[in-house]
Amino acid sequence: MPDEAPAVRLSGITKRFPGVVANRDINLTIERGEVHALCGENGAGKSTLMKILYGMQQPDEGSIEIDGAAVSLRSPADAIGLGIGMVHQHFKLADNLTVLENVILGAEPRRRGRIDFAAARARIAEMSARYGLHVEPDALVETLGVGERQRVEILKVLFRGARVLILDEPTAVLVPQEVDELFGNLRELRAEGLTVLFISHKLDEVLSVADAISVIRRGTTVATCLDPAEVTSRRLAELMVGSELPTPELRESTVTDEVQLEIEKLTVLTPSGRPVVEDVSLRIHRGEIVGLAGVEGNGQSELIETVMGLVSADAGFVRFGGEDITDWTTRRRREAGIAYIPEDRHRHGLVLEGSLWENRMLGHQTERPNVRGPWVDKRGAKRDTTRIVQEYDVRTPGIDVPASALSGGNQQKLIVGREMSGEPKLLIAAHPTRGIDVGAQAAIWEYLRQARAAGLAVLLISADLEELIGMSDTLHVILRGRLVAEVDPARVTPEELGSAMTGATEDTA
């Protein structure tokens, strides 16, 4: 029954390089018409396996079936002949040729011995319309952005008749909007019955686009054909790294009875007079982490921005250490000891082109060690940046490199280090571990625990419900600008918290 054979079946694939076994007895089945994600850490052997499927490398052991038939792939030409195409991690287009020339290069349609450009153009137009792969056929490739180049690569593969498309880390080079576009393209390809093998180590992406997920670790398959609806990104990460991940947890209470922050009957209105924060009252004691759970857009951003003085209150008070700070400027609040890990580290937390030490000064230009008397103290800022790099384990080649040279996790550790300096009394932490790797996440949880033990009051906002539950002493739910429930973090499950956030239950305490 040829119709029931999987598009691809790899069995017992082993590939050795001098000193390393890149693939060890890998088994993988890819059904036709699915987007199948292959995940694994860097160096796990993903690219090697895909190069074997594309005929670029030959396995030492194992067998390959395409559509149920055993095949031998001695070169990419063999693979292409069987309908397998690959878009590499590093694009391989000719810069000095046009889009059209690149797409047809080596596969030129001919008519009476001459290249039939009209036929090529018509086919490219048809394919690009069908799959939503927008390109300008006559543009020179050197003038194209990364997203466009990728579409040209995909068209090039489709032009050669690929039915199975391998994309090796296609999102590594894209900005979020381009990622969305690419995923739209992948869904179109799937709708047309094509099979996509999508390589990635970004778990949120994998969960959002894949129909099935396989994980390889140190060259071996550790999970195959997982259902994305039934697996969490945390579980995937554990499969990838091969150990249980550190969990967010607080251990013994350090909560004191000294109120550090008091918000009383706070209301914030939009310019049109609609309340985005309505009659909110809460207290945070020294040594306490208060979590705020809510679906994004329910007033939590406005609430913390009001505490930071970035948004002004229309009614109510904010008191800090007993003092009314409702009308204070942001700078004055920072100087008084309110630290802020902002929601979007690229928009508000860092200047990406700036060096690490310039970023150390950002938002703290008026404080020591960045100033000495009335003067900016660059040496002080640099010395303190070196301290942060060491204490917060920021992996960087130096403090003069731009912040953009750091991974997301290391950027975040730099922000945390900066905000924790000067011994703040209150920390507003908005999504402190969003989008960062598991190691950096565990480190940030540990810094929060240490700061809490030292008497810091923390207001925590996060979309990661396990983080909120694990890291909060007290947990409020915000819905349409109002605090609608207080739940017990020691008891509540993520599912219960999730329903409280959508208003599905009145009270889950």
Where on the chain is the footprint of Mg ion (CB under 5 A)?
47
Nearer to ligand ADP, 20 or 129 (CB): 20
Binding characters for ligand ADP, 330-369, by CB under 6 A (x = yes): ----------------------------------------
Peptide bond before residue 369 is cis, with ω within 30 degrees of 0 = yes
Distances (CA, A) of 60 to 26, 44, 48: 12, 17, 12
User: CB pairs under 8 A, 24+ apart, for 138-142?
Assistant: 138/98, 138/99, 138/100, 139/98, 139/99, 140/95, 140/96, 140/97, 140/98, 141/93, 141/94, 141/95, 141/96, 141/97, 141/98, 141/99, 141/102, 142/95, 142/96
Question: Based on CB atoms, which residue is closest to ligand ADP, 43 or 242?
Answer: 43
Interaction partner, residue 43 (Mg ion, ligand ADP, none; CB < 5-8 Å by kind): ligand ADP
Whole-number minimum distance, CB 42 to ligand ADP, in Å?
Answer: 5
For residue 9, the minimal CB distance to ligand ADP (Å) is 20
Instruction: Kindly state the smallest distance separating residue 222's Cβ from ligand ADP, in Å.
Output: 13
Nearest CB to ligand ADP, comparing residues 17 and 146: 17
Shortest separation between residue 22's beta carbon and ligand ADP, angstroms: 3
From 40-48, 232-240, 407-415, 449-457, give the range in contact with ligand ADP by CB under 6 A: 40-48
Task: Return the closest-CA partner of residue 175 out of 134, 146, 136, 208.
Answer: 146
Place of tokens 């994980």: 215
In the complex, what is the shortest distance from the CB of residue 75 to ligand ADP, in angstroms, rounded to a whole number?
16
* Member of 6, 40, 291, 489 binding ligand ADP (CB under 6 A): 40
Q: What are the CA-CA distances from residue 17 to residues 21, 52, 58 (Å)?
A: 6, 13, 11
DSSP state of 496: H
Strand partners, 267: 315
Residue 272 binds which entry of ligand ADP, Mg ion, none, CB below 5-8 Å type-dependent: none
Amino acid (one-letter) located at 397 = P
Question: Which x/- pattern over 2-21 shows residues binding ligand ADP (rule: CB under 6 A)?
Answer: ---------------x--x-
Main-chain phi, psi angles of 53, to 5 degrees: -65, -25
Task: Name which of ligand ADP, Mg ion, none residue 20 binds, using a CB cut-off of 5 to 8 Å depending on partner kind.
Answer: ligand ADP
Q: Which residues share a beta bridge with 200?
A: 39
43 is a site residue for ligand ADP (CB under 6 A): yes
Q: Which is nearer to ligand ADP, 13 or 155 (CB)?
A: 13
Q: How many CB atoms lie within 10 A of CB 322?
A: 9
423: nearest Cα among 367, 506, 357, 362: 367
The option from Mg ion, ligand ADP, none interacting with 45 (CB < 5 to 8 A, set by class) reads ligand ADP
- The piece of 46-54, 91-99, 141-149, 421-429 that touches ligand ADP (CB under 6 A) is 46-54
Residue 150 CB, nearest approach to Mg ion (Å) = 16
Taking the CA atoms of 304, 310, 312 and 317 in sequence, report the sign of the dihedral they define.
Answer: positive
Gyration radius (Cα) of the chain, Å: 27
Q: Does 492 bind ligand ADP (CB under 6 A)?
A: no
Kindly state whether residue 297 participates in binding ligand ADP, applying the rule CB under 6 A.
Answer: no
Contact residue for ligand ADP among 8, 10, 13, 22 (CB under 6 A): 22
Give the separation between CA 325 and CA 20, rounded to whole angstroms. Answer: 61
Q: How far apart are CA 57 and CA 73, in angstroms?
A: 9
Query: Which residues have a Cβ under 8 Å from the Cβ of 177 and sit 6 or more positions away?
Result: none
Nearer to Mg ion, 51 or 160 (CB): 51
By CB under 6 A, how many residues form the interface with ligand ADP? 11
Identified binder of ligand ADP from the candidate list 45, 275, 316, 432, rule CB under 6 A: 45
Q: How far is the CB of 171 from ligand ADP (least distance, A)?
A: 14
User: What is each CA distance from 247 to 118, 178, 441, 475, 491, in whole angstroms?
Assistant: 60, 32, 10, 18, 16
Q: Tell me: does residue 42 bind ligand ADP (CB under 6 A).
A: yes
Instruction: Give the residue with the Cβ less far from ligand ADP, 22 or 284.
Output: 22
Structural contact between residues 444 and 434, judged by C-beta atoms closer than 8 angstroms: no
What is the number of other CB atoms lying within 10 angstroms of the CB of residue 263? 23
* Cβ closest to ligand ADP, residue 17 vs residue 270: 17
Is there binding between residue 242 and ligand ADP (CB under 6 A)? no
Q: Which option in ligand ADP, Mg ion, none does residue 364 bind, with CB closer than 5 to 8 A by kind?
A: none
**Residues in touch with ligand ADP (CB under 6 A):** 17, 20, 22, 40, 42-48
